[in-house]
Amino acid sequence: MPPTNNDRSLVIVANRLPVQRVRRGTTSTWQTSLGGLVAALHPLLRKHGGSWVGWPGGEGGSSRAFRHDGMDIKPVTLSASQIEGFYEGFSNGTLWPLYHDVLRTPRFRRSWWRSYVEVNQKFADAIEPLVGPGSMVWIHDYHLQLVPKMLRQRRADLRIGFFLHIPFPAPELFARMPWRTEVLKGLLASDVIGFQTRAVAQNFLRASRRLTRATGSGCTLRLDDHTIRVQPFPIAIDIEEFETLANAESAGERTRSLRAKFGPKRKLVLGVDRLDYTKGIDVRLRAIEEVLRRGEFSARDMCFVQIAVPSRENVDDYASLRREVEQAVGRINGEYAEPGQVAVHYLHRRLSREDLVAYYMAADVMMVTPLRDGMNLIAKEYAASRIDGTGVLLLSEFAGAANELRQAVLVNPFDIDGMAKAVQTALTMPPAEQRRRMRSLRNAVHSYDLYDWAARFLGALRGDQDA
């Protein structure tokens, strides 16, 4: 159920707006985006009023506020140099690799930092005129960590919440960043700071005590007479949406058609990810290659389908990952495909929700093997879509979701032999064991949904002690 917001007005702030510009012939219109966060917060804004502040994507455009689908939208536009310095640079070339345990080398460029400060200020400037006395402002993610302090300096009356969707690294790694204190102080001006898991909340608490004058134990910090609640709020999915899609007649037809195309007698192993180096697509391919090399399974028995959603293509590390993945797909097929039976299918595109659910329903085994991930909602979506109660989820220990989905086959993605063995276990798992594990996964996913998640966070922001 959509949450309620009691009396305070609400402003949501995220790097991306919940709407996208879509071209129709010679004109273009705004369309509400698909996706978890929008699904959870849209009903709330529509019911109680409130605004969403964010970047509309692309360069320039109008920053005039407008109303769409029951929401007040305030665009924060970016220049070409801000896209390069703030978004591709500091957000995705410094913070993203640093916060994902340095899977790639973070670059500490002073010009990117200056751009980050400038754009965070631009967001704070855009928010201030929208907030009435005592309003709640809920800021999302690593792009906007300085905004809480920038707002607080001007408006002591606000209730400011911040939720980090990605991991927060161990203090020893975080401490490498030249602007570590500014970032922590930016965040510590919030009233509530939410993380995906207890472990990353602990990382933040330790970093704050070590690198600032913040004190406190448990989940409460104090800095300069200000109290901050720091707590895990693991994000969830809209279960009803996935179950409705899975129960639709058309889903059954799509699933049967996919099975027929890939070969009804072959086992289908699936991966669905943004094409990002944190997701472990490359190591997953090496594990599949290892399974085929061992010879117990051939391309006649199984195929692996990787759906890779294009992402951040102007950032170097993403472009080189794409080359690596595409080379690996070519190499594996060159070695192991049979006439008419491709070993690895690679789809570099975004799928509709309907097609995505049909793939989940068709897959005997789902591989979710990030090297590091804040939560990973694909794992939860797979369980929600398996209304037939079967299917095997292979899940990385390093995804936040592994804390909740304990009956997945848990794998260490850095261990190729272990992963290959887990794929073999999954491919041969008896239906009774599949059902037992899937029942537990589905129970975990059903225990709370995206609306409960948003309601809990906003409850904490209002000051409810039991939220």
Residue 165: active-site member: yes
Cα–Cα distance, 164 to 296 (Å, whole number):
43
Residue 141 designated active-site: no
Task: Give, as ranges, the residues between 50 and 69 that touch ligand F6P (CB under 6 A).
Answer: none
Nearer to ligand F6P, 34 or 102 (CB): 34
Q: How many CB atoms lie within 10 A of CB 176?
A: 12
SS3 237: coil
User: Is residue 10 within 8 Å of 47, Cβ to Cβ?
Assistant: no
Strand ordering across the sheet containing 220-223: 66-68, 71-75, 50-55, 10-16, 136-140, 159-163, 192-195, 226-232, 220-223
Q: Pattern 253-282, binding to ligand F6P, x per CB under 6 A? A: ------------------------------
Give Dmax (Cα) for the chain: 71
> Which of 254, 312, 380, 386 forms a contact with ligand F6P (CB under 6 A)?
312
Cβ distance to ligand F6P smaller for residue 16 or 74: 16
Q: Are 400 and 196 a contacting pair, CB within 8 Å?
A: yes
Residue of 165, 226, 345, 348 marked catalytic = 165
Shortest distance in whole angstroms from residue 35 CB to ligand F6P: 6
CA 26/CA 103 separation, integer angstroms: 43
Of the candidates 141, 238, 276, 373, the residue annotated as catalytic is 373
Residue ranges of alpha helices (H) inside 307-430 are: 316-336, 353-362, 377-385, 416-427
Amino acid at 360: Y
Residue 193 identity: I
User: Considering the rule CB under 6 A, would residue 131 count as an interface residue with ligand F6P?
Assistant: no
Q: Quick check: 188 and 145 in contact, CB under 8 A?
A: no
First to last CA, the chain: 17
Q: Do residues 384 and 411 touch, judged by C-beta distance below 8 A?
A: no
The phi and psi torsions of 278 (rounded to 5 degrees) equal -75, -15
Of 286 and 348, CB closest to ligand F6P: 348
- Whichever of 232 and 263 has its CB closer to ligand F6P, that residue is 232
Question: By the 8 A CB rule, do 273 and 366 touch?
Answer: no
Binders of ligand F6P: how many residues, by CB under 6 A? 7
Among 17, 166, 401, 409, binds ligand F6P (CB under 6 A): 166
Query: 165 or 286: whose CB is closer to ligand F6P?
Result: 165
- Using DSSP, state whether 52 is helix, strand or coil: strand
Q: Site for ligand F6P (CB under 6 A): which residue of 107, 109, 114, 165? A: 165
**Measured from the CB atom, is 311 or 424 closer to ligand F6P?**
311
- 33 lies in the site for ligand F6P, by CB under 6 A: no
Q: Where are the alpha helices (DSSP H) in 386-430?
A: 416-427
Residue 16 lies near ligand F6P (rule: CB under 6 A): yes
Q: Which residue is nearest to ligand F6P (CB)?
A: 165
Query: What minimum distance in Å lies between the beta carbon of 165 and ligand F6P?
Result: 5
Q: How many residues does the chain have?
A: 467
* Cβ at position 142, least distance to ligand F6P in Å: 7
CB of 463 to ligand F6P, least distance (A): 27
Min CB(395)–ligand F6P separation in Å: 17
Interatomic CA distance for residues 227 and 142, integer angstroms: 21
* Smallest separation, CB 141 to ligand F6P (Å): 6
Minimum distance from residue 314 beta carbon to ligand F6P (Å):
11
Q: Identify the residue among 77, 79, 311, 412 touching ligand F6P (CB under 6 A).
A: 311
Instruction: Provide the 3-class DSSP secondary structure of residue 195.
Output: strand
Least distance (Å) between residue 238 CB and ligand F6P:
15
The SS3 call for residue 269 is strand
Q: Is residue 395 exposed (0-12), middle (13-18) or buried (19+ Cβ within 10 Å)?
A: buried
Figure out which of the listed residues 141, 241, 273, 364 binds ligand F6P, where binding follows CB under 6 A.
Answer: 141
Contact 15, 312 (CB under 8 A): no
Nearer to ligand F6P, 166 or 272 (CB): 166
The residue (of 372 and 437) whose beta carbon lies closer to ligand F6P is: 372
- Strand ranges (DSSP E) for 36-158? 50-55, 66-68, 71-75, 136-140
Contact residues toward ligand F6P (CB under 6 A) are 15-16, 141, 165-166, 311-312
Active site residues: 165, 373
